[in-house]
Amino acid sequence: MSSNIISSRYAHSLFDLSLEIDILDKVNNNMLLVKKVCKENPILNSIMRNPNFNIGLKKGIIKDLFEKKVEKLTLDFIILLVQKRRVILLNEIAESFLDFYNNFKGIKVATLIVASPIEIEIKNKIINIFEDQLNCKIELDEKIDISVLGGFRIIIDGKVYDATVSNQLQELKKTFAKNLYEKGF
């Protein structure tokens, strides 16, 4: 069975259980923390992937890391993953859970690509424009790309909205290549 299917099933189980006992928002925040910890700690990932470390040691590490920071359900879930030897999928499970949560709440995650960090007011204007256009809540993830000369590029659901200066220059170049002002004799 592929890791995507397994991750999705575990994430869906956690989602359903947290929804049932009415702690969905808290577990969502926990999964954000788990995803961040997995991303920022390659040593933790290598320890969890290493079969030479016994399950008891891995459980102890998980408890030390998360016991006071997450809900009991989340901690028990991660320990279950350790016992089932599925903890190597923890990051993917957290991502799947966040996808389920966003779909349930009607939130779309957008990636905003800009040349340099932009002000909060401009971010809010961009969010408001796209929320009105798409009739949903937008959660913005900002990325810096120096190849963007100015303006911004935003990716929502695989669709790219390109309002960069470089894109406008490309369009202008295409327009001039057509040479609309040449006499047609």
Per-residue pLDDT for the chain (185 aa), expressed as one digit of tens each? 677 899 999 999 999 999 999 999 999 999 999 999 989 988 888 888 888 888 899 899 889 888 888 899 999 999 999 999 898 899 999 999 999 999 999 899 899 998 888 889 988 998 899 889 888 898 888 899 888 878 889 998 888 988 888 888 888 888 877 766 666 55
Give yes or no: residues 71 and 135 share one domain.
Answer: no
**12, part of any domain:** yes
**Among 84, 77, 93, 71, CA closest to 9:** 93
Give yes or no: residues 94 and 125 share one domain.
Answer: no
Q: Using CA atoms, how far apart are residues 79 and 91, in angstroms rounded to an integer?
A: 14
Give yes or no: residues 76 and 129 share one domain.
Answer: no
pTM higher than the cut 0.75: yes
- Which range of residues forms the domain containing residue 40? 3-103
Q: Using CA atoms, how far apart are residues 111 and 25, in angstroms rounded to an integer?
A: 22
Using the 3D structure, point to which of 62, 87, 103 is the last residue of a domain: 103
Beta strands in 134-173 (DSSP E): 137-144, 151-156, 159-164
Check residue 183 and give its pLDDT: 60
Alpha helices (H) along 21-89: 24-40, 42-49, 55-66, 72-83
Check residue 1 and give its pLDDT: 64
**184, part of any domain:** no
Using the 3D structure, point to which of 45, 78, 103 is the last residue of a domain: 103
Q: What percent of the chain has pLDDT over 70?
A: 96
Give yes or no: residues 79 and 125 share one domain.
Answer: no
Check residue 51 and give its pLDDT: 85
**183, part of any domain:** no
For position 161, which CATH number holds?
A: 3.40.30
Give yes or no: residues 169 and 128 share one domain.
Answer: yes
**Among 136, 134, 137, CA closest to 159:** 134
Q: Using CA atoms, how far apart are residues 10 and 16, in angstroms rounded to an integer?
A: 10
**Among 103, 101, 79, 102, CA closest to 90:** 79
Give yes or no: residues 96 and 20 share one domain.
Answer: yes
Using the 3D structure, point to which of 44, 69, 103 is the last residue of a domain: 103
User: Which DSSP string do the residues of 74-101 spell out, in sequence order?
Assistant: HHHHHHHHHHTT-GGGHHHHHHHHHHHH
